[in-house]
Amino acid sequence: MHHRYDVLVVGAGGAGLMAALYAAKGNVSVACISKLYPTRSHTGAAQGGIGAALGNVQEDHWEWHMFDTVKGGDYLTDQDAAEVFAKDIIDAVYELEHMGLPFSRTPEGKIAQRKFGGHTRDFGKAAVERSCYAKDRTGHMILQTLYQQNVKAGTTFFNEFHVTDLLIEDGRCRGLVAYELSTGELHTFHAKAVILAAGGYGRVFKITSNALTLTGDLMSIYYRKGLPLEDMEFYQFHPTGLAKLGILVTEGIRGEGGILRNDSGERFMERYAPTIKDLAPRDIVSRSIITEIREGRGVGRDKDAVNIDLTHLPREVIEGKLAEITDLARTYLGMDPVKDLVPIQPTAHYAMGGIPTDLNGLCLSDGSGGSIEGLYAAGEQACVSLHGANRLGTNSLGDLVVFGRRAGIYAAQYARQVEYPDMPESAQRDSQDLLDRLRDASGKDNAAAIRKELQESMMNNVGIFRNGKDMEKQVGIVQELKARYRNVSVSDPSRRYNSELIEAMELGFMLDCAEAMTSSALNRTESRGAHDREDYAERDDTNWLKHTMAYKDLNNDGNVVIGYKPVALKGFTRAFEPKPRVY
């Protein structure tokens, strides 16, 4: 089947819905394509809040938020992106409020705000209340609100469609191809502009907060065309996932006063971040937790977790502001945060890297400013380099609405100025070949077994602490798994809702993301933000204050070509010089 829209959006999470809404406001026809029903998108898992310097609880300024974002990103953050973000997020939060998002309130009726890791006042002097929240269901509320607004705006939705190819020819995106789960048919979508907002790739790790659908599909498709993925080595492990499960425990739990304790009950973050303690940025807290575990101070049967302590907080705070977390702990661990210490451990959470874009969401084709005409990206899938080497809590939801909005505005603006491009001949050929190879293969390798080996090896070799020896080993493991993947076959012949076929296809995308990530991580011989190397323990600004650009060598499968892109070291009105990162 063939469809035509001025603007196509891939992904119906916060970034995709914000982009679709603003494209629709630009008087163009808009369609949103999603693997899921939109309100099941992973943005709904974000709990703690969206950071903005509103100053509703105490004095705050966008300049402080910009500084925290740059420092939190260990100075790999592009400062022009940080300035745009810190300014625009204030208006964006008020706009969400006016759309009907049910924020929690102060006694005066203003949007309530609470503390979050790495957010400070006076350029690092003390923690500040900056996170705007709707209890601990903030992402869910954003998702519901934006979906309602898109229905009102007339956005067309293609739900349960799995994108299999981007149609890029002569430097211009002309549309895409998607597989309809309910029929097994391929659909061609013709467009003037395409916006990619399909989320991250956290399922490459064994323990992750990410939904099963986050397999890096569009990152892989972009990469397979010889286009770059930026800063893939920087992957954030959230400090607090429910032990063994990885289910997210919001940073808001520490913003409300939760305390991390080791096996002796010690508040150990006082040793690692004496100024803001448990509210240090996520990379620091995650490393601190793993250090406690490595040194024998973990809790639980396997001594591989630490505890989060809420027992000193009033019941009404725990039951009211942290209702979802309380329910998760009771349901999955059989523990009541009102009276029990809850065991947690770091969980793979967020990709700082992805498809490189400029400040308007336009996808970049190299590290020198080249771009793909008509192709935009936003959200976790994109890398405008707001987050640098480590994302601050609450900045992901802010990223979605600020840069999702910008991508929607500029994609619509572009679409109004151009005619539909010619479609490539045999637009569905590559997608059909991909599906036929999996359906018709006679190999005996099992996709589930390969996926399990990938997830376990990535967790062990490219996790929180890394070293060259383990990552060299992982490069070889990924190459071996990719070779085995060529022999994967699908036994289910059905066309409708063939989950075996979809999961096998997703495994190929995951292997690409793991390949780019591992090679990028091995190549960066320093420690910065979430990228922590035991064999190169110090940050090296002389040699490594630059972005990694990982390209697939189309002439030599299995090899990754590394290029670079300069860091924007100043914003439009402010610049923060790289300094030691101390909290």
- Residues of each annotated binding site: 11-16, 34-49, 217, 238, 250, 349, 380, 391, 396-397
* Planar angle of CA 31, 36, 41, nearest 5 degrees: 95
Categorize the per-residue pLDDT at 558 as very low, low, confident or very high, splitting at 50, 70 and 90. low
The radius of gyration of the chain's CA atoms, rounded to the nearest angstrom, is 22
Q: CA-CA distance, 180 to 222, in Å (whole number)? A: 20
The pLDDT score that the predictor gives to residue 269 is: 96
- Show me where the domains of the chain are located: 239-347, 428-532
3-class secondary-structure state, position 355: strand
3-state secondary structure of 282: helix
Question: Is the CA virtual torsion 206, 210, 212, 218 positive or negative?
Answer: negative
Backbone phi, psi, residue 26, to 5° = -90, 15
The vertex-233 CA angle with 228 and 236, nearest 5°, equals 125
Query: Which residue among 137, 174, 203, 282 is the active-site one?
Result: 282
- Write down the H helix ranges in 100-243: 138-153, 217-224
Q: What is the Cα–Cα distance from 349 to 203, expressed in whole angstroms?
A: 9
Q: Say whether 137 is catalytic.
A: no
Asked whether residue 47 carries a pLDDT value surpassing 90, the answer given is no
Mean of the per-residue pLDDT values of the chain: 95
Burial class for 570, CB neighbours closer than 10 Å (0-12, 13-18, 19+): middle
Under the banding of pLDDT at 50, 70 and 90, the label for residue 195 is very high
pLDDT at position 251 is 86
Provide the whole-model pTM. Answer: 0.95
CA atoms within a 13 Å half-sphere pointing along the CA-CB vector of 44: 14
Average pLDDT over residues 275-294: 93
Which range has the worst mean pLDDT, 319-333, 454-468, 529-543? 319-333
E-strand stretches of 311-442 = 342-351, 355-356, 362-364, 371-377, 382-383
Considering the four listed CATH numbers 3.90.700.10, 3.30.450.40, 3.40.50.880, 1.10.10.10, the one that applies to the domain covering 239-347 is: 3.90.700.10
Length of the chain measured in residues: 583
So what's the pLDDT on residue 117?
A: 87
Question: Mean pLDDT across the stretch 218-240?
Answer: 97
168 touches 194 (CB < 8 A)? no
Q: How confident is the model over 325-362, as pLDDT tens digits?
A: 899 999 999 999 999 999 999 999 999 999 999 999 99
Residue 301, burial from CB neighbour count under 10 angstroms (0-12, 13-18, 19+):
exposed
Q: Which helix (H) or strand (E) holds 317?
A: helix 315-320
Q: Distance between CA 63 and CA 70 in Å, rounded?
A: 11
Strongest mean pLDDT among 125-134, 433-442, 549-558: 125-134
If one counts every other C-beta atom within 10 angstroms of the C-beta of residue 370, the result is 12
| Gap between the Cα atoms of 191 and 497, Å rounded | 27
Class of domain 428-532: mainly alpha
Neighbours of 242 (CB within 10 A): 25
Q: Averaged over 421-438, what is the pLDDT?
A: 94
Sign of the dihedral through C-alpha 513, 518, 519, 520: positive
- The full DSSP string for 490-554 is -----STT-HHHHHHHHHHHHHHHHHHHHHHHHH--S-BTTBEESSS-S--HHHH-EEEEEEE-T
Give the pLDDT mean for 198-203. 97
* Contacts of the segment 479-483: beta carbons below 8 A, 24+ positions apart: 479/515, 479/558, 481/450, 481/453, 481/454, 481/511, 482/511, 482/515, 482/557, 482/558
pLDDT band at 30 (very low <50, low <70, confident <90, very high): very high
Q: Which amino acid is at 571?
A: G
**Predicted pLDDT at 582:** 86
Give mean pLDDT, residues 178-191.
Answer: 97
pLDDT at 48 over 90: no
Distances in Å between the Cα of 237 and the Cα atoms of 282, 305, 348, 351, 463 are 7, 14, 4, 9, 8
What number is the average pLDDT over the span 167-176?
97
Annotated binding site for FAD: 11-16, 34-49, 217, 380, 396-397
Q: Which comes out higher in pLDDT, residue 84 or 324?
A: 84
Q: Give pLDDT, residue 92.
A: 97
pLDDT digits (tens, 9 = 90+) for 516-526: 999 999 999 99
Percent of the chain residues topping a pLDDT of 70: 100
